[in-house]
Amino acid sequence: MTRMMPIAILLASCNGERFIGTQLDSLAGQTHGDWRLIVSDDGSSDDTLGVVRRFAAAHPSRRIEIRQGPRAGATQNFLSMIDLVEPGEALAFCDQDDVWLPHRLSRGVAAITASGPSGRGVLHVTRTTICDEALKVLRPAPLFTRPPAFRNALVQACTPANTMLVDPEGAALLKAGRNGAAEADVISHDWWAYQLIAGAGGRVIRDPAQTVLYRQHRGNVMGRNDTARAILARLGQLGAGDFGDWLRQNLAALNAARDLLTPENAHVLEEFAAALGSPGPLAAARLARLGVYRQTRAGTAALMLAAAAGRLRSGTRDGRDR
């Protein structure tokens, strides 16, 4: 039998009036009932909070907390809520415009329970079902096949937060590292969570099941990544200079939580930082020797080409290897 697991659902909202009601209704329809909801609103000027308050009034037996967000973007909003997760609770990130299928939480709880104790946390993610604005199904999200690991996490965000469930031990780990991530201004809370849990020796479960309807619309902070155009755009980011800056932000966050990493992964982090600071061809050689990888051969090749061209070093946005 699947054990009950208390879950804190962390929902970051901002001007989500159009879609948040449908998402909230999907939370109420979860087959796993042991959850509470924290909504952190980043200064909505529409009726987002009105929708949330009406939902709370319609479910008086639920613990639903509404708070003011930091107004510093979605990632900082999500990071700010991690401190509110109570000891013994798992956490699930929640986007305001998706729809959770009824087994979204129960699937994760069952997988975490079946995997056994890890001691260093378990992160479970599934795939999304990509939909248009009206929730018409377009296609499943890509199915990655290479194993999740710290050497992958260092160079790729491939654990979508909107499907993520982190067990209580993993949630405690994220709480311990949260300040460093916020101070480093990491680009993505899900990428950082993958890095920290994998780096600490936790277990990462990538489940091929689809549990979330991922709504695509003009207001998406991060859109779909399965089209040829989107894939090319993401590969292009590897050589655009910004990607190198993101890697350095992640490095700062991980260095701030270095005592949480396994000794082996602390050494990997040190070698990774040295590789990023090396001149082009040497950087690529060091990364290859370290064994970092992305989920596709094309992605790994693009990473190595960007490194060889000096595009992963600091101060390369203008095209010069400094």
| 47 touches 17 (CB < 8 A) | yes
Closest by CA to 197, choosing from 271, 259, 123, is 123
The 10 Å CB-count burial string (b at 16+, else e) for 61-100 is: eeebeeeebeeebbbbbbbbbbebbeeebbbbbbbbbbbb
Task: Output the pLDDT for position 237.
Answer: 57
DSSP string covering 65-102: EEEE--SS-HHHHHHHHHTTPPTT-EEEEEETT-EE-T
pTM for the full model? 0.91
- The Cα-based distances of 320 to 46, 51, 238, 248 in angstroms read 44, 49, 15, 17
Residue type, 149: A
* Neighbouring residues of 192: CB distance < 8 A, sequence distance ≥ 6: 177, 181, 186, 250, 253
Strand partners, 94: 11
Closest by CA to 77, choosing from 190, 189, 164, 212, is 189
C-alpha span between 106 and 112 (Å, rounded): 10
What b/e string do you get for 258-268 counting C-beta neighbours within 10 Å, with b at 16 or more? eebbeeebbeb
The pLDDT, as a whole number, for residue 241 is 62
pLDDT at 321: 32
Which pLDDT belongs to residue 217?
A: 74
pLDDT block averages, 10 residues each, the chain of length 322: 82 97 98 98 98 98 98 97 98 98 98 91 97 96 95 97 98 98 98 98 97 83 50 54 91 98 98 96 97 96 94 56 30
